[in-house]
Structure 1
Amino acid sequence: MSHNIYRGDVLVHVVIAGAGIVGVSSAIWLQRAGHSVTLVDRMEYLTRTSFGNAGVLAAGALIPVSVPGLLKKAPKMLFNRNEPLFLQWAYLPQLLPFLAKYLSFARMDHVQHYAKHMSYLLGDTHAQHQSLAAGTGAERFISDDDFCFGYGTKDSFTSDGWTRDLRRAHGFEIEELDGAEFAERDPMYPDQFAKVACYKNHGRISDPGAYLEALLEHFQSEGGQMVAAQIEDIEMQDGQCRALITDQGRISGDHLILAMGAWSGPVAKKLGIKKIALESERGYHIELHAPSMMPKAPMMVAAGKFVVTPMEGRIRCAGVVEFASADAPAQEAPIALVKRQVKALFPDLTYDHLTEWMGRRPATSDSLPVIGPATTCGNAHIAFGHQHVGLTGGPKTGRLIADMVSNTLSNADLSAFDPARYQ
């Protein structure tokens, strides 16, 4: 294990609650700084949000879900079986306080604020993943594909022009093609789109689950410890976090990182985030195994708000926004919608078999992640709430957290992510 010289006082034992991409990235960067690290997680790999995302390194994901006009459109969307917004109605009374705050941010000034700060966190995602994966064996899963947005009509392309303008203002290069031009590049889409916008300098993970497993194996090979346990609470004493309380007993350390995604809320409140509004914004995917054709790059189908991504031996089609309890079972309607959309998009595609998945994105009321020091104790940091972009922003978040633990100075403006905004 390498020991770097840094501005901290001592090397410490760091306990990380959560082994998704944010937790694992934090663990590897802390390990590289010389700290000893223990990862604690249920280790139920198929339920991890990092396992089932679209696999896109969405560097230009600068537009939150809550945009101007959402409040007016949302009711109509909820009652239309062909719209990608779902709500489990029995959960509505519990959800209402969050929704009120969430919709209050559907303003253009907040979109601009979000874009400014997320461009810093996400803009160099491909390079961040390469740095994280260097020497781990996980490098093979990373590629530098474009991320394309396909529009069924020229009018829909034109109406979405403001999002391209915003991304260009933050330095992103976009190639705009007619549908026929794009079809020459990717025969998977002969006539589905009138216009396609291709975002440069993005990237793709060809198998997010296997990528995460390779990173975890490397972490362990370098001396990192992993504990399979259900995290139940934290033990506090004299303004310090002393241990995680789990169904396997106490797990103590010198420093705690909270990176439990959609399950972070109760522990976050004990760490001083008293007013956190965190919900499970669930997503679904289907995978078409051994397909008769394979797309060349990830494609956001603008009309359906879902992403088609080539994976290893399969195509993943991921999307949908569903508000429901984190513990509620998967619902049939969102999966049925994705299946209908895929069938309409690729009517002649054949494949060996189909698999389904549902995961839980951690959504904050302002759509911004929570990254920074805990407010009630000096030996804990917080890193969750990345919503749709956990895979994209995970490696840089982990690097930032490791620098904070090591007291490495940074010129970055991280105020928008500061946990203190929920104090």
Structure 2
Amino acid sequence: MSVQKKHVIIVGAGIVGVSTAIWLQRDGHDVTLVDKVGPAGGTSYGNAGLLASASIVPVTAPGLLKKVPKMLFNPDQPLFLRWSYLPKLMPFLFKYLAHANAEDAKRISDALYDIVGDSVADHQALAAGTGAERWIVPQEYVFAYSDKAAYDGDAFGWSIRRDRGFVCEELDEAALRAQEPALSGDFRYGVRIPNHGRITDPGAYVKALAAHVVAEGGRIVEAEVNDIVRENGRATGVRAGGETISGDAVVVALGAWSGKLCKQLGLEVPLESERGYHLEFWEPSVMPKTPVMITTGKFLLTPMEGRLRAAGVVEFGGLEAPPSEAPFALLRKAVRKAVPGLTFKEETTWMGHRPATTDSIPVIGEAPGVPGAFLGFGHQHVGLTGGPKTGRILAQLIGGKTPNMDLTRYSPSRFGA
């Protein structure tokens, strides 16, 4: 069956947008990527670099409601809030916290699993022949706990992972020490999950994928999109930087910034930024063998090219405020405690925006009432992990194909008009 060739305009050149572009090109379509700062300018650069197939347990797990007040008022906890932002945050927060129960958590985990469960294979398929393959490293993923009691406290999450078929190898103190000798003696229990992976330089990886898009005839426009053009109700282009770029379909993949364009499409998506932070330690004296989740501080240590990245923390403060110093200070303190022998040449910092929906499930699909407008955002903590699968789904939908999965869970219409 011949494919009707389309010109698709993709707004956002992070991992979701670039993945969509590559899969569209492989199906015979033309693409234009439009992004204010170019490829990998946001969260696709600064994420933890983990291909986190087992990260299917939402933040809104049972018991969260009891933990939030303590976390907010304890400076050693990895949850921060800009209090001046609280009035604007409250409507989102009420809906978000309403999902902090076992039934919803299991439903959310099912939806996430179908997007991230085969992440390494999805990335390998995406990157094949692009030159970006060299940044993909398949390997295990380790959780480090202070003791077995702390691990037992996360029993709900581990049961969800095991139910989904993940192998979770428990490590006693000796086994954890053998696995990750750089860690402090404060960690006496752990879990090792095979069949994960990491990207050794997320920014370079996504830029290499974008360069492949250009090499295959795609176009990249560095401009801010301020409007979606419609003709007879159908999305046919965008206005960006004083230019109208016309096409046959439009994809909105702007992460935490997607809400404004959704409103122009008549869609109110409850979307917030879970501001995330990272520190990078260049030329470190010691390095974990694998990505390690430091459960006491809820942050990830990931070995990267030439540096060690510590990424994590959640701050609610919107898209406009500058980075806060307290999350950086907490990360520094936690890294010193977790890896006491660490010395390094230079430290660099970053803050970015994870796009979170109230139900912790990404938005993937065609906008209701606006044919030709497709949405792909809201992956919260698993954007890099789920980007290739999301891009492939969007490319299939745009090409008139029916993906072999239940897409109603990700439907943009689930929030109402």
TM bucket, shorter chain: over 0.9
CA contact (8 A) 1:180 1:191 kept: no
Q: Show the counterpart of 2:108.
A: 114
Of the candidates 338, 347, 364, which is equivalent to residue 331 of structure 2?
A: 338
2:401 maps to 408
Deviations 1:230-287 (A, max 9, x none): 111212232111321222421111100010000000111222423x110111100000
Equivalent in 313, 324, 333 of residue 320 of structure 1: 313
Q: Percent identity?
A: 50
Q: Secondary structure at the match of 1:287?
A: strand
- Point out the more displaced range, 258-267 or 45-54: 45-54
Verify the 8 A CA contact 1:179 1:192 in the aligned structure 2.
Answer: no
338-347 or 13-22: which moved more?
338-347
- Letter of the 1:174 counterpart: C
- Show the counterpart of 1:156: 150
Q: Secondary structure at the residue paired with 1:197? A: strand
Counterpart-to-counterpart distance in 2, 1:322 and 1:283: 7
Q: Quick one: distance in 2 between partners of 1:411 and 1:174? A: 28
Q: Which runs of 4+ in 1 moved over 3 A?
A: 44-47
Aligned to 1:67: 61
Q: Which residue of 1 aligns with 2:412?
A: 419
Q: Does 1:350 align with 2:370?
A: no
Q: Does 1:260 align with 2:254?
A: yes
Q: What is residue 291 of structure 2 aligned with on the other side? A: 298
1:128 aligns with 2:152: no
Between the aligned partners of 2:317 and 2:184, the Cα distance in structure 1 is 37
Deviations 1:143-182 (A, max 9, x none): 1111111001221011112211110101111111112212
CA positional deviation for 1:47: 4.4
Give the conservation status (yes or no) of the 8 Å contact 1:230–1:248.
no
Distance 1:402 1:46, change over 3 A: closer
1:160 partner amino acid: D
**CA separation of 1:138/1:360 partners in 2, compared to 1, >3 Å: closer, same or farther?**
same
The match for 1:77 is 71
Residue in 2 aligned with 1:382?
Answer: 375
Range moving further from structure 2, 159-168 or 135-144: 159-168
Q: RMSD between aligned alpha carbons?
A: 1.3
2:164 pairs, out of 151, 170, 178, with 170
One-letter amino acid matched to 1:193: F
**Is 1:282 matched with 2:280?**
no
**Matched residue of 1:296: which SS?**
coil
| Inter-CA distance 136–157: structure 2 relative to 1 (3 Å threshold) | same
In structure 2, the residue matched to 1:365 is: 358
Partners in 2 of 1:358 and 1:47 — Cα distance?
Answer: 12
Which runs of structure 2 are paired with 1:45-56 in the superposition (5 Å)?
A: 47-56=41-50
Aligned to 2:16: 22
Residues 288-321 of structure 1: per-residue CA shift (max 9 Å, x gap): 0001111110000111000000000100000000
Deviation for aligned residue 1:45: 5.6
1:182 counterpart = 2:179:
no
Aligned 8 A contact 2:14 2:40 in 1: no
Amino acid in structure 2 at the alignment position of 1:225? R
Q: Which stretch shifts more, 65-74 or 41-50?
A: 41-50
User: What residue ranges of structure 1 are gaps of 5+ in the alignment?
Assistant: none
* 8 Å CA contact retained: 2:183, 2:340: no
Matches within 5 A, 1:83-102: 83-102=77-96
* Counterparts of 1:190 and 1:301, CA distance in 2: 11
Letter in 2 for 1:222: E
- Contact 1:271–1:377 (CA under 8 A) maintained in structure 2: yes
Per mean C-alpha deviation after superposition, the further-off stretch among 372-381 and 334-343 is 372-381
Equivalent residue for 2:196? 202
Count of residues in Structure 1 that have an aligned counterpart in Structure 2: 416
Any residues of structure 2 matched to 1:139-150 within 5 Å, and which? 139-150=133-144
Q: Is the 8 A contact 1:149 1:301 kept in 2?
A: yes
**Counterpart-to-counterpart distance in 1, 2:41 and 2:319:** 11
2:317 partner letter: A
The within-5 A match list for 1:198-277 is: 198-274=192-268, 276-277=269-270
Q: Distance in 2 between matches of 1:328 and 1:208?
A: 24
Question: How far did residue 349 of structure 1 move?
Answer: 1.2
What TM-score, normalized by structure 1, do the two folds share? Answer: 0.96
Alpha-carbon distance, 1:372 to partner: 0.6
- 2:336 and 2:380 map into 1 onto residues whose CA distance is 27
Q: Is the 8 A contact 1:148 1:297 kept in 2?
A: yes
Q: 1:416 Cα deviation (Å)?
A: 0.8
Mapped contact 1:290–1:352 kept (Cα < 8 A): yes
The residue matched to 2:139 in structure 1 has which SS? coil
- Paired residues of 2:176 and 2:188 also in contact (CA < 8 A): no
The alpha-carbon distance between structure 1 residues 235 and 59, as it changes in their structure 2 partners (threshold 3 A), is same
Task: State the distance in 1 between where 2:402 and 2:225 align.
Answer: 31
8 Å CA contact retained: 1:47, 1:359: no
- In the TM superposition, what is the alpha-carbon distance from 1:393 to its structure 2 partner? 0.1
Which amino acid is 2:318 matched to?
S
Residue type matched to 1:200 in 2? P
